[in-house]
Chains A and B, each alone.
Chain A
């Protein structure tokens, strides 16, 4: 296994207030591996930015430690940490040119002039901005400023690069292009990236691993595939992609398997990975793309979940379909627009809703 670049050890952050102290992070612990593209993902107010600012040194901790390659950097001021940040609004120095901005950190580190100019040149080549070296930040587009901010933070070759929602100010096309570029630059430089975003698609596209956060705690850490296919709880299931959450009654069977009874479908057999003591109610999740629909026939079999199409949204590559089952449960299905087969799906139509047993995921309460 790779060695950890960062150890987050039991970090708690409470913003003191006379009446309403705010707990931004409560006892957060995890590792970030060397040379990893690690993403902190969560809705606003989940504590991801606070955690990033703690690693950078802009916020102190109420409790806990940040270890960087084994050294405790918690007592160090921001300018003493071998960590650089790409800020959300770039924060380029407006009075300095592009190359002066990139050279800023190197000069403060008292590197010799020759070395500084070589490094600046190499960085500008890396971000393909060599022709803009003498421009001032206000003469650049948003995407260009973004790249300069990246070069400025990468120039001192930090042990860790922190990125605070760096793409959120860019428009969609540019954002998608920058994703690829960031990922490529991370691979090329071999620097560990810690990326903060609220955009799950962005997180999925770039990350080696994602830490999904909410309410000041880490909910799940895993590869994009892991957190999507095996979310541990409601929050992760809903935040990463879309999910149908179905209440079920589990009764124990042989070994660790259990029989799940739902209101609408025939009983489902799953392996819970643990022995059930007795009947238990729990939630299961099925992703919308796992749902299949077929028109309900006149001779409807017992034990089929049938419902009515409530709404259809055509999204290009696929169609999103809202269905209300007879029990009142709302189901979201996503049907790929590969054939004309379901092209005749209409609002108000009666359909049968099905999914394979393998698509079922049991969520922790």
Chain B
């Protein structure tokens, strides 16, 4: 932008007017980011260092209690020598695994779906995209509850399987990791399909012809040409599925039961009800935010290195 202004050979006064106008135009964006993102995160950050009030809420007194509780085990009465607290790390680990697999399954189903849609005639494309978004007309809670009805022991799936003598007694699906996985997959699949669709739609299919012309079969073309070309869409889809899955609490709560507790539920529990521990909930959120930032930074670095290597 600076280059643009200096090359346009304008006087300094005119330049600052242009800059002023640009600042004005950017104001709404900054306001939204500031009010809706920066301020809440700062509040959370501050809360995570405050003391818990027993009626919910915080007492304005600085302490590292929340982080201590997260990372260190000091025994039931808090008087033992500190060792590593595994409970929450385990919940994090489970959440990451669930989110990771949700991302993989969404990718495995979402990529072919997106590819299929993008290769249809323009008319069928918009129809199919419309169909992909239809589940979103219904609230996530209702969708998750209906999933619960589908897969419970006396739900239609089990009853049909028994009716057709495929199984003798109901298969346990509800309150398993599988149920959580199913819920996450169903909730976030369109977030995978749409960005991948967008990049495949922009993909130049002559490149696939060029690959075929250079002795490349279908699958190798997909692997060596199509996927690298639409990689930005795949990455966007993965991020859009992975991150909300990590913080999801409806699917694990309603479908997973107590054994499949995830980060989202842990945070939710701290803020809901009188017994909640706001500073601890804030601290859990901060730890999660930090980990996600680190992952994204590593990714951005590797992208930058790729781009650098191209030179």
Closest to B231 in A: A95
Please give the distance in Å from A152's CB to the nearest CB on chain B. Answer: 7
Is there contact, CB below 8 Å, between B210 and A93? yes
CA A87 to CA B204, docked complex, whole Å: 12
CA A292 to CA B211, docked complex, whole Å: 55
Is there contact, CB below 8 Å, between A105 and B206? no
Check: B217 CB closer than 8 A to any chain A CB. yes
CB under 8 Å from chain B, chain A span 89-116: 89, 91-95, 97, 104-105, 108-109
Is there contact, CB below 8 Å, between B206 and A78? no
CA A108 to CA B221, docked complex, whole Å: 10
Check: B145 CB closer than 8 A to any chain A CB. no
Contacts of A134 in B (CB 8 A): 310-311
Check: B228 CB closer than 8 A to any chain A CB. yes
Please give the distance in Å from A96's CB to the nearest CB on chain B. Answer: 8
CB under 8 Å from chain A, chain B span 74-88: none
Complex partner residue of B209 from A87, A135, A139, CB under 8 angstroms: A87
Is there contact, CB below 8 Å, between A93 and B207? yes
Q: A93-B207, A93-B210 are in contact. Are A79 and B228 (CB under 8 A)?
A: no
Q: A95-B229, A136-B310 are in contact. Are A87 and B210 (CB under 8 A)?
A: yes
Is there contact, CB below 8 Å, between B212 and A79? yes
CA A80 to CA B181, docked complex, whole Å: 43
Check: A283 CB closer than 8 A to any chain B CB. no
CA A134 to CA B213, docked complex, whole Å: 23
CA A72 to CA B253, docked complex, whole Å: 64
Q: A91-B207, A91-B209, A93-B210 are in contact. Are A108 and B225 (CB under 8 A)?
A: no
Q: A78-B209, A91-B207 are in contact. Are A156 and B310 (CB under 8 A)?
A: no
Check: A56 CB closer than 8 A to any chain B CB. yes
Check: A30 CB closer than 8 A to any chain B CB. no
Q: A95-B228, A97-B310 are in contact. Are A79 and B215 (CB under 8 A)?
A: yes
Complex partner residue of B216 from A58, A91, A108, CB under 8 angstroms: A108
Please give the distance in Å from B227's CB to the nearest CB on chain A. Answer: 10
Is there contact, CB below 8 Å, between B213 and A84? yes
Contacts of A83 in B (CB 8 A): 213
Complex partner residue of B225 from A93, A97, A105, A139, CB under 8 angstroms: A93
User: When each residue 220-259 of chain B gets 1 if its CB lies under 8 Å from chain A and 0 otherwise, what string results?
Assistant: 1000010011010000000000000000000000000000
Is there contact, CB below 8 Å, between B207 and A105? no
CA A84 to CA B212, docked complex, whole Å: 9
Check: B1 CB closer than 8 A to any chain A CB. no
Check: B127 CB closer than 8 A to any chain A CB. no
Check: A77 CB closer than 8 A to any chain B CB. yes
The number of residues on chain A lying at the interface, defined by a beta carbon within 8 Å of a beta carbon of chain B, is 29
Check: B13 CB closer than 8 A to any chain A CB. no
Please give the distance in Å from B307's CB to the nearest CB on chain A. Answer: 9
Check: A85 CB closer than 8 A to any chain B CB. yes
Identify the interface centre among B210, B231, B311: most chain A CB within 10 Å of its CB: B210
CA A77 to CA B208, docked complex, whole Å: 13
User: When each residue 181-221 of chain B gets 1 if its CB lies under 8 Å from chain A and 0 otherwise, what string results?
Assistant: 00000000000000000000000101101111111110010
Contacts of B231 in A (CB 8 A): 95
Q: A77-B212, A79-B212, A97-B310 are in contact. Are A91 and B204 (CB under 8 A)?
A: yes
Q: A89-B206, A93-B207 are in contact. Are A156 and B229 (CB under 8 A)?
A: no
CA A153 to CA B220, docked complex, whole Å: 18
Is there contact, CB below 8 Å, between B215 and A108? yes
Is there contact, CB below 8 Å, between B215 and A85? no
Please give the distance in Å from A163's CB to the nearest CB on chain B. Answer: 12
Is there contact, CB below 8 Å, between B206 and A156? no
Please give the distance in Å from B54's CB to the nearest CB on chain A. Answer: 58
Is there contact, CB below 8 Å, between B214 and A104? yes
Contacts of B211 in A (CB 8 A): 79, 93, 104
Contacts of B204 in A (CB 8 A): 89, 91
CA A328 to CA B206, docked complex, whole Å: 51
User: When each residue 135-159 of chain B gets 1 if its CB lies under 8 Å from chain A and 0 otherwise, what string results?
Assistant: 0000000000000000000000000
CB under 8 Å from chain B, chain A span 182-227: none
Please give the distance in Å from A4's CB to the nearest CB on chain B. Answer: 22
Is there contact, CB below 8 Å, between B209 and A105? no
Closest to A149 in B: B210
Is there contact, CB below 8 Å, between A156 and B209? no
Closest to B213 in A: A85
Closest to B207 in A: A91
Is there contact, CB below 8 Å, between A79 and B206? no
Given contacts A91-B206, A93-B210, 14 further A-B contacts (CB under 8 A): A58-B212, A77-B212, A78-B209, A79-B212, A79-B215, A79-B217, A85-B213, A87-B209, A91-B210, A92-B210, A105-B214, A105-B215, A108-B214, A153-B214
Binding site for B on A (CB under 8 A): 56-58, 77-80, 83-85, 87, 89, 91-95, 97, 104-105, 108-109, 134-136, 139, 152-153, 156
The 10 closest A-B pairs by CB, nearest first: A105-B214, A78-B212, A91-B210, A108-B215, A95-B228, A91-B206, A85-B213, A136-B310, A79-B212, A79-B215
Q: Can you name 25 A-B pairs with beta carbons within 8 Å?
A: A56-B213, A79-B213, A79-B215, A79-B217, A84-B213, A85-B209, A85-B213, A87-B209, A89-B206, A91-B204, A91-B206, A91-B207, A91-B209, A93-B210, A93-B225, A93-B229, A97-B310, A104-B211, A104-B216, A105-B215, A108-B216, A109-B215, A134-B310, A153-B213, A153-B214
